[in-house]
Amino acid sequence: MELFTGYGLDYLVRWLHFLAGITWIGLLYYFNFVQTEYFKEAEDAHKSGAIQKLVPRALWWFRWGAMITFLSGVALLAYRHQGISFDITVGALLGTLMFLNVWLIIWPNQKTVIASATQVAEGGEALPEAAGSLAKAGLASRTNTLFSLPMLFFMGSSAHLSHGLLSEASTAALGIIILLILALEANGIFGKQGPMTSVGGVIGCGFGLTIVLYGIMAFL
């Protein structure tokens, strides 16, 4: 049976990569487009209950979806290393930074926010670092949303635009793209949300970044 051949194993890993990625990015969009907007309008009691009971469940699927997406992606890159193109390199870089943001920034800071809400619900005082942790997690989450649009574009283009302009991208273009992405990641750690504060803003920035990266890769 073909499923139990090398080609079949390759397909199964790809399927797992897609499935986990859909889970991860779907929850990323839920947090940014739905939950954040709801929390702006929710009453304190409802918001506290959601932070204690709903958010931890969503974050479990979110972070492990990111983990499985990353690990299956690494497996695919290792297995098909000879087929790595410039666009898959850009997509993989964006995905790796997004994964690190989840596990090193979003999840640790969200744990502080959840602990603070739980402590308040039990009659205690809010943790003094909770507000700062929420801001850090929010900025990293907005950055991941920004990165997600070009990441998905370049992951797809590696298979469907492989005979077009992207196959002729220069090393200089790739270097500029990497520097730009790292600068945006630095802002995601130390900077501000800026135009990404609103849902429309972060979506617009994501499409804009995709166009800029494509333009650099295709025409430089």
Q: How far apart are the C-alpha atoms of 17 and 20, rounded to whole Å? A: 5
Domain ranges of the chain: 2-219
202 has a pLDDT exceeding 80: yes
pLDDT of residue 59: 98
The token duo for 66 is 């990111």
Q: What is the pLDDT of residues 9-54, one digit of tens each?
A: 889 999 999 999 999 999 999 999 999 999 999 999 999 999 999 9
Q: How far apart are the C-alpha atoms of 46 and 32, rounded to whole Å? A: 18
User: Cβ distance 143 to 185 under 8 Å?
Assistant: yes
193 has a pLDDT exceeding 60: yes
Could you tell me which of 74, 62, 78 has the C-alpha nearest to residue 21? 62
Q: 1 versus 207: which is more confidently predicted?
A: 207
User: Cβ distance 66 to 99 under 8 Å?
Assistant: yes
> At how many degrees (to 10) do helices 107-121 and 55-79 cross?
170
Could you tell me which of 144, 136, 129, 132 has the C-alpha nearest to residue 191? 136
Q: 86 versus 5: which is more confidently predicted?
A: 86
pLDDT of residue 82: 64
Q: What is the pLDDT of residues 48-94, one digit of tens each?
A: 999 999 999 999 999 999 999 999 999 999 987 766 888 899 999 99
Could you tell me which of 126, 163, 153 has the C-alpha nearest to residue 210? 153
CA 120 to each of CA 46, 59, 89, 112, 129: distance values in angstroms, whole numbers, following the listed order: 13, 20, 45, 12, 14
Distance of CA 142 to the CA centre of its chain: 9
163 has a pLDDT exceeding 60: no
Q: 186 versus 10: which is more confidently predicted?
A: 186
In the chain, the amino acid numbered 197 is T
First to last CA, the chain: 46
Does the pTM of the predicted model rise above 0.85?
Answer: yes
